[in-house]
């Protein structure tokens, strides 16, 4: 097989890149280890920056998001029962949209089908060869047969555990990582949200987040130790602890019900550099992971895709390779800004039980600063809704 861009991974980053490239007249083949049904079963966050919404519109997949997504003009922080609303609209004139990542992936699959995209599911033993040469290719097994794709470029959109990042030699690759001493125990329930906007709550029992997917589907999280097990938490135990961590008004509005999904996600900050090696480009979780506190994971993947799509469009359609050469530099500048914000939000809202007394006092001071300073609130709002591409 031969294509211009081989894309490893059919998550939202890989599918969005393929969609944008195909609409720009650039050929792609997408390889995915899992089945389409499995990809569409993954439950992920759904707070979408306006820049990512604009990119989905450019890809021709924004119609359902605009019909069914929920525009949020602010979010709420609670610290020891004190509630502070961060008004995005008045502070920076922007907003976010709550729309599930699963739904974005579904929309992208439908759009790719309409374009006749070549997406190959169920591949094994993927290997990227010659990425540092002018003639890269990808080998893999499919239906028990050895296959090969010759291409101009390879886009690694295959997540943290994929092969793409590992293809870059250790002598070239630098990795920066922070592991947090807790995870998020998350519950999905067919219940109304406790509030029209997200509530990030912090207190002596630890962090909690009241989120939502729709008016009848809610997502709830609490901070738990890193070694905690899901099976230790019955629904009743979760709701009891969750209620204690929410501000009183939210706790009183809470409607409980059976969990339809329950899991624990560890938190880490991770960046791999470079994001470009020869003709291999990393996008999304293949290059970076952020703690979910700042709602940046999918949005960072979208900005990576924007920079790579722009660069490849210039290369093929304008015969200009300058943006290809600086893809990693452009993407990483925004990645590190999001890393800083997500780290800061995580430090602000979570309980770090092993911190010295001095460090444990700082979040209360930070919260007071946010209450008293419009400039501080504006800085939070600008970062939450997303810095410009």
Which residues carry out catalysis?
72, 200, 292, 296, 384
Q: Check residue 321 and report its DSSP letter.
A: -
* Tokens, residue 170: 């250790």
**CA atoms within 13 Å, Cβ hemisphere of 42:** 15
CB 214 within 8 Å of CB 102: no
CA distance 157 to 88: 31
- Tokens 């987040």 belong to 209
Could you tell me whether strands 217-225 and 208-214 are parallel, antiparallel, or unpaired per DSSP bridges?
A: antiparallel
Q: Which of 142, 64, 48 is nearest to 110 (CA)?
A: 64
CA distance 153 to 128: 10
Considering just the CA atoms, what is the radius of gyration of the chain in Å?
21
CA distances from 150 to 27, 131, 147, 154 (A): 12, 11, 10, 10
CA distance 18 to 28: 6
Using DSSP, state whether 135 is helix, strand or coil: coil
CA distance 148 to 158: 18
């Amino acid at each position: 097989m031969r294509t211009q861009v081989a894309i490893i991974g059919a998550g939202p980053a890989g599918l969005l890149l393929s969609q944008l490239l195909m609409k720009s007249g650039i050929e792609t083949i997408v390889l995915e280890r899992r089945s389409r049904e499995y990809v569409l079963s993954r439950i992920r966050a759904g707070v979408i920056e306006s820049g990512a919404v604009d990119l989905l519109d450019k890809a021709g997949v924004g119609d359902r998001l605009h019909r069914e997504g929920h525009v949020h003009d602010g979010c709420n922080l609670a610290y020891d029962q004190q509630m502070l609303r961060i008004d995005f609209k008045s502070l920076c004139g922007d907003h976010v949209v709550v729309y599930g990542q699963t739904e974005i992936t579904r929309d992208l699959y439908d759009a790719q089908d309409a374009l006749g995209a070549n997406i190959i599911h169920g591949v094994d033993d993927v290997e990227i060869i010659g990425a540092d040469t002018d003639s890269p290719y990808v080998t893999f097994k499919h239906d028990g047969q050895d296959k090969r794709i010759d291409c101009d470029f390879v886009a690694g959109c295959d997540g943290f555990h994929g092969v793409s990042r590992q293809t870059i030699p250790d002598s070239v690759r630098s990795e920066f990582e922070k592991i947090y001493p807790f995870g998020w125990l998350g519950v999905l329930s067919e219940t109304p949200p406790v509030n029209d906007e997200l509530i990030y709550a912090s207190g002596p029992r630890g962090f909690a987040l009241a989120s939502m997917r729709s008016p009848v589907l809610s997502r709830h999280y609490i901070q738990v130790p890193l070694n905690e097990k899901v099976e230790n938490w019955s629904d009743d135990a979760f709701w009891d602890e969750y209620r204690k961590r929410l501000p009183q008004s939210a706790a009183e509005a809470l409607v409980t019900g059976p969990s339809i999904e329950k899991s624990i996600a560890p938190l880490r900050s991770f960046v791999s550099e470079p994001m470009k090696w020869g003709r291999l480009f990393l996008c999304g979780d293949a290059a970076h992971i952020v703690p979910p506190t700042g709602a940046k994971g999918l949005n960072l993947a979208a900005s990576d895709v924007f920079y790579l799509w722009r660069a490849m469009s210039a290369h093929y359609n304008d015969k200009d390779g300058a943006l290809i050469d600086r893809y990693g530099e452009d993407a990483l500048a925004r990645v590190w800004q999001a890393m800083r914000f997500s780290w800061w939000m995580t430090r602000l809202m979570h309980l770090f039980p092993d911190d010295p007394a001095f460090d444990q006092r700082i979040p209360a001071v930070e919260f007071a600063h946010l209450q008293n300073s419009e400039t501080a609130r504006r800085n939070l709002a600008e970062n939450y809704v997303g810095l410009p591409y």
